Chain A
Amino acid sequence: MNRLAVELPGLSLKNPVMPASGCFGFGREFAELYDLSLLGSIMIKAVTREPRLGNPVPRVAETPSGMLNAIGLQNPGIDKVEGELNWLAGFHLPIIANVAGYSDEDYCYVAERIAKVPNIGALEINISCPNVKQGGITYGQDPAVAKALTQKIKAVSSKPVYMKLSPNVANIKEMAKAVEEGGADGITMINTLIGMRFDMKKRKPLLANKTGGLSGPAIKPVALKMIYDVYETVKIPIIGMGGIQTAEDVLEFFYAGASAVAIGTENFVNPWICPQIIEELPKVLDQYGFEKMTDAIGVGH
């Protein structure tokens, strides 16, 4: 028996650990460091219909136990990303494609096309990027809009659809309920929290985009609380993320209700973090008395 295996819609994972979208590019930098086939999955960097240059620099800033980013969805567009996916096929993983857009048509175009790529296991629909002016987070803050988009994407996608929720909402349960009603197969959460820092000497916002998305261990308690709430509200599975640094953190996310997890910012600090956590997980299961990962899902309720 593989103690770490988890089964999610479209994702038969040998372990529940994957790098989070935007923190791993398309894997090329990390493939120089370790065998990517050790991972449960990979959430690739957000893909849009056309190439996007992203925001001006500075794009990143450190914050206490965290960081702000305002990359602005820089990506080479769907045409080039299909090539990257071909390369990733060599690692025999079900890949999760993060799909971003600025209109229903954009989202649906990319979703329909990328779902057809054989090694895509599922789609993660980015309705929560705080760093682009149109689309992104506007879809992620209105339950009716999110539900309608989920329905449209479900209608065109041949693969399971996970909606990535933003924490920048008054009521996360309403958002989760809306995407479930729209037919989502799962939820990924949380995206970053909107924040700011200032350059003390220049007396101006530090990031060129003025605001950025806060990530890292600073947001871990927020992620756990929101996953806890959403787990009690919906029946579809949750892939949890937000400041995970250790195998014990992974188990804590399972306690809150996650069925798998993504590692984001920590990849920037320790590029080997994903395989290290995967190696540690059996020991942590032993330590807290679980036979297998799936036994820990939602035990904190």
Chain B
Amino acid sequence: MQQCQMQIVENMRIARDTYRMSLRANELDLSLFTPGCFINIKIDDSAYLLRRPISLYEIDLAAKLVRIIYKVLGKGTELMSKMAAGEELNILGPLGSGFPIQNDSQSVLLAGGGVGVPPLYELGKRLQERGVTITSVLGFQDADSVYAIKEFETLGQVFVSTIDGSFGQKGTIIDILNKQEIEFDTLYSCGPAGMLKALDEKYQGKKEGYLSFEERMACGIGACYGCMVNTKAGLKRVCKDGPVFALGEVSYE
């Protein structure tokens, strides 16, 4: 884990309340960053005390850039959305365990929902380099909140759902997976808690799979015990022991 200033190269709106930011990472050893890990961002305003944990959409080793896609959920992320290229953010990272990449996996399903979609893209790019067949199933609220479809289409076949049916199929990604026969060995997912639970119940014991969870955090480094998740092996910290947990590991009681 390192702490450094990162310069904003690009910060643009790509969907409703959703922004893509590129950050120059000259001081960071990006080889330590794996898909599914996250960075903790400090907004340079003393009123916003805590860092914002945000997953990585792309890790560009050659250009020394990381890209994040974040949603404006409160005043802190609203301030971030107004920052311009050239401004700097203080970053702590990489944090958390990434997605394990199975060596014998021939085909994977990337299942993303809302703000959970971004980390699956960097993962997909790395799997693609390994020659893995990729199918993506991405869920959003409505047409205005859809993003990154073209990028995922470079990885393989993409199915999209929206809750109101204004883009792709109406419903959730679970509705798509119930209807559509998709061949895969390994599932990778990130998204809202309800979606992860539904996927876990559907595939645990049947498939290899990894789910990335989200919880309100204070520190992001395992010190505050704020972001606990109940697992079959007891309470674990989403930030340090996760955010990625295997299918069947989390207890939803």
Q: Which residues of A contact B (CB under 8 A)?
A: 22-25, 29-30, 32-33, 45, 53-54, 57-67, 69, 71, 74, 216-217, 265, 267-272
Neighbouring B residues of A65 by C-beta, 8 Å: 46-47, 49
Neighbouring A residues of B3 by C-beta, 8 Å: 270-272
CB–CB B49/A217 < 8 A: yes
CB–CB A71/B226 < 8 A: yes
The interface centre, meaning the residue of B46, B92, B225, B228 with most chain A CB atoms within 10 A of its CB, is B225
Per-residue 0/1 for B16-56: is the Cβ within 8 Å of any A Cβ (1 yes, 0 no)? Answer: 00000000000000000000000000100011111100000
> Which B residue sits closest to A30, measured CB to CB?
B223
Known: A29-B221, A58-B216. 17 other contacts (CB 8 A): A24-B223, A25-B225, A32-B1, A54-B228, A60-B217, A60-B226, A62-B76, A66-B49, A69-B218, A69-B224, A74-B225, A265-B49, A267-B223, A268-B50, A268-B223, A269-B49, A271-B92
CA distance A60 to B220 in the complex (A): 12
Report the minimal beta-carbon distance from B115 to chain A, rounded to whole angstroms: 16
Of the candidates A29, A54, A63, A64, which one forms a contact with B223 in the assembled complex, judged by CB atoms under 8 Å apart?
A29
Of the candidates A23, A29, A66, A270, which one forms a contact with B222 in the assembled complex, judged by CB atoms under 8 Å apart?
A29
The answer to whether B67 has its CB under 8 Å from any CB of chain A is no
CB–CB B235/A71 < 8 A: no
CA distance A267 to B226 in the complex (A): 14
Neighbouring B residues of A269 by C-beta, 8 Å: 42, 49-51, 219
CA distance A69 to B224 in the complex (A): 9
Per-residue 0/1 for B205-233: is the Cβ within 8 Å of any A Cβ (1 yes, 0 no)? Answer: 00000000001111111111111110000
The answer to whether B240 has its CB under 8 Å from any CB of chain A is yes
Assess A59 versus B1: contact at CB under 8 Å? Given A53-B235, A267-B219, A269-B51: no
